[in-house]
A = this chain, B = another copy of it.
Amino acid sequence: MDTWMRFKSNDGGIVFGRVEGGYLHEYESLERPVPTGAVLSSRALTPLAPCAPGKIVALWNNYHALAAKLDKPVPAHPLFLLKPAGSVIGSGEPIQRPPGYAGKIVYEGELGIVIGRRCRNASLEEAADAIFGYTPVNDVTAADLLNENPHFPQWCRAKGFDTFCCIGPAIVSGFDWRPARLVTMLDGVERQNYPLADMVFSPAEQVSMISQDLTLEPGDVIACGTSVGVGSIRDGAMVSITIDGIGTLSNTLSAAGRTDAAGQSGTAATAGVV
């Protein structure tokens, strides 16, 4: 097992590599994991989301326990929606309540598969080989929007807002998901605690079957779906998702609107084109 992280360095550049004992052993990239020879103290670096996916494939109804609770049959093929690249944030970054949306915002603790190699029509074996590693995901949803329109369920909109895909803090390669559990804490209170082995489609099955539909690229993330215990996040609350052997992803829901320079006010009139 190796632990991989991405950081912003002091000069504003982005570095990626293997973390061990407080040091980053820099590698060329996730796609080309070749050591550059540079070793940096990770204390001097600002952690980022551990990869920069071009797309996030997010599964629905992929755990037997949740399917039973929802009284839905388990699917024959992974059921998914896409979250855009712009929805990604790392551990410690705030989830931003969308300006103008006062409704329920829901957490979903999930296992994330990080793709290491371009794959298309991959066999199960090839799919297993194409997995770079695993990372915790919080697949955030503006729940009131999902069925706001009775004629069209708005999965991409409700789950696609900027900051609605929390991933990190690290990717662990060589991780055995079979015996692991995922625990979600909301302000310190346990809300989810489920075995990853309850998955309907295993990670390699997901990669193989989804690669029949669309080409997966290095850095892309498949969010494996959640299980029971999903709930809403109050403004200011912190969601922490732990997968033993990987780490803890923590994010607070901020109601203060955009915190980046271009959109501080969070209103359409003043935030503008950035």
What's the Cα separation between A38 and B130 when bound, in Å? 41
What residues of B have a CB within 8 angstroms of the CB of A61 in the complex?
Answer: 151-152
What residues of B have a CB within 8 angstroms of the CB of A258 in the complex?
Answer: 120-121
A233 to chain B, nearest CB (A): 19
Stretch at the interface among A9-17, A187-195, A206-214: A206-214
Interface assignment of A154: CB less than 8 Å from any CB of chain B? yes
What residues of B have a CB within 8 angstroms of the CB of A77 in the complex?
Answer: 149
Contact with B along A168-186 (1 / 0, CB 8 A): 0000000000000000000
Q: How many residues of A contact B (CB 8 A)?
A: 60
Q: Is the interface of A mostly helix, strand, loop or mixed?
A: loop
Contact with B along A155-178 (1 / 0, CB 8 A): 111001110000000000000000
Interface assignment of A26: CB less than 8 Å from any CB of chain B? no
A162 to chain B, nearest CB (A): 5
What residues of B have a CB within 8 angstroms of the CB of A80 in the complex?
Answer: 154, 156-157
Q: Chain A interface (Cβ within 8 Å of chain B)?
A: 54-55, 60-61, 72-73, 75-77, 79-87, 98-100, 117-123, 126-127, 129-130, 149, 151-157, 160-162, 208, 212-215, 217, 258, 262-263, 266-269, 271-274
**Cβ-closest 7 pairs across A and B:** A121-B271, A82-B82, A126-B273, A119-B273, A79-B152, A86-B215, A82-B156
Known: A61-B152, A99-B212, A162-B215. 4 other contacts (CB 8 A): A79-B151, A98-B213, A120-B262, A121-B267
